[in-house]
Amino acid sequence: MANFNKVLLIGNLTRDPQLSYLPSQTPVVEFGLAVNRKWTGKDGQSKDETCFVDCRAFGRLAENINKYMSKGRPLFVEGRLSYDTWTAQDGSKRSRHRVVVENFQFLGAPGGGAGSDSQVQPGSPDASRGGPDDASSEGPAKGAQPSDDDIPF
């Protein structure tokens, strides 16, 4: 039997990205994404639904998301669904689904404003290299919309 695990989402960040480093010094960023759905019910009433999704990215992708994104900014993510399990401090078993980001694309400003679209491919040299030294490079302040001249890829 064939298997396929692919997730495509467009939404707004629910919080500022949180960058940390694995013991191997690989950057990892975690952020939340709110994905909205609107539809009309059988009664003719407009209905809204929001799905909150936890996301995680590694390497150069993590550094770029941390550098250019902030709460409220729209983002397109492509990745795979991951299932994490752990034991909480009180001894209870906990679990969570999360999207592991393999690719992303910046979208315009919140509210449909225009902005530069940029994309990082997971197989590109910029996606695979990275580390704490690269994070200190010059560029716009966190949350600033990147221009074509600012994006390092």
Q: What is the DSSP string of 2-48?
A: -----EEEEEEESS--EEEE-TT--EEEEEEEEEEEEEE-TTS-EEE
100 C-beta neighbours (distance < 10 Å), count: 15
Given this model, what pLDDT does residue 1 score? 87
How far is C-alpha 111 from the geometric centre of its chain's CA atoms?
A: 19
Q: Is 99 exposed, middle or buried (0-12, 13-18, 19+ CB in 10 A)?
A: buried
Domain 7-136 has CATH 3.90.1720.10: no
Q: What is the pLDDT of residues 12-59, one digit of tens each?
A: 999 999 999 999 999 999 999 999 999 998 999 999 999 999 999 999
Percent with pLDDT over 70 in the chain: 71
Distance CA 62, CA 131 (A): 10
The residues facing 82 across adjacent strands are 98
- 0.75 cut: is pTM over it? no
Domain extents for the chain? 7-136
Determine contact, residues 127/61, Cβ cutoff 8 Å: yes
Q: What is the reported pLDDT for 113?
A: 44
Out of 40-44, 123-127, 131-135, the most confident range is: 40-44
- Banded pLDDT at 134 (limits 50, 70, 90): very low
Confidence grade of residue 115 (pLDDT, cut at 50, 70, 90): very low
Q: Which two tokens stand for residue 107?
A: 């979208």
DSSP code for 124: S
Q: Any idea how long the chain is?
A: 153
Distance, CA of 95 to CA of 90 (rounded, Å): 14
